[in-house]
Amino acid sequence: MAQKSISTVAAQLRTNIQTVVIGKDDVIDLALVALLCEGHILIEDVPGIGKTTLAKAIARSLNCSFKRIQFTPDLLPSDVTGISYFNQKTQAFEFRAGPIFAQVVLADEINRATPRTQSALLEAMQERQVTVEGDSMALARPFLVMATQNPIELEGTFPLPEAQIDRFLLRISLGYPSEEEEHRILARFERLDPFDTLKAVVDVEDLLALQAQVRAIRVERSVADYIVKLCRSTRNAAGAQIGVSPRGTMALYRAAQAFAAIHGRDYVLPDDVKTLAPYALAHRIVVDGQSRLRGRKAEDILRDVLERTPVPVDTV
């Protein structure tokens, strides 16, 4: 495995995941980008599209531990992080780890929990550790949070605060399958569950080595300047109340490195940046009130910024 390139390993993972996730090659690639960047994913989509299937397929392909947290209004922070309790047998306090201590965590319908419970994920997602009663405990690597929220069910939800949204490397949507893909889904699951035969194709140790290799992907100064200009332009763009943070600039930079790597290149192209910008930046832009009333969205603002910002040429 040590001799294989990132693109070769990514192809193995993609092929393995495709045995249970039908017709979502672009989404699988974005998930692999987040995995290689040690980032997290926010999925906005309707129920039943395959969000849980994607998360479980990634975990199984890496032989990683997987936990699903169903977020509800009565969920407490301790239900996520874990609790310290007094063991009557040992006469001592012991820590019972919560589901956040898995390597792949599916935070389902995250916007149904209160902001206090949502904030329980902040430290884990950014610093990869959990602090309970003053004691900090490191999380195992790799650590990937895939959070979902339903864009059409607004009643009984709590919008994610900007600080929480900014922790997600990418925001994606699976979308409905085509008619042909839906027939393939029926055929694939008709007789048996593909999960029964889904096996790990990459070791955790090899993945960690690949994550380190991604940082060596070359980003020319002109491409880095392009990334910085895109992000800075969102901060004074018409209709934007809040633009992309420096964390967002770094997210786009790292994501572009991983995207280039899984496509077999050791350098980043401006097209990589343009492809990833909607997934890495749009959710970090807050639209002002007047623009929202006119139906303007963050994606519209970002589209204008991409059109106005000159693309570098002769970068390789």
3-state SS class at 156: coil
- Domain limits, CATH 1.10.8.80, in the chain: 217-308
What angle (nearest 5°) sits at the alpha carbon of residue 206, between those of residues 281 and 35? 15
Under CATH, to which class is 6-209 assigned? alpha beta
Q: What confidence tier does 95 reach under pLDDT thresholds 50, 70, 90?
A: confident
Q: In terms of CATH, what superfamily is 217-308? A: Magnesium chelatase subunit I, C-Terminal domain (1.10.8.80)
What b/e readout covers 18-43, taking b as 16+ CB neighbours within 10 angstroms? Answer: eebbbbbeebbbbbbbbbbbbbbbbb
Instruction: Give the chain's mean pLDDT.
Output: 88
Which positions ≥6 away from 52 have C-beta within 8 Å?
68, 106, 108
Instruction: Please name which of 179, 188, 222 lies closest in space to residue 313, comparing C-alpha atoms.
Output: 222
- What are the start-end ranges of the H helices in 84-194? 115-118, 122-127, 162-165, 179-188
CB atoms within 10 A of CB 257: 25
Burial class for 94, CB neighbours closer than 10 Å (0-12, 13-18, 19+): exposed
Q: What is the pLDDT of residues 168-218, one digit of tens each?
A: 999 998 888 889 988 988 888 877 788 888 888 888 888 889 999 999 999
Task: Please report the pLDDT score of residue 4 as a whole number.
Answer: 66
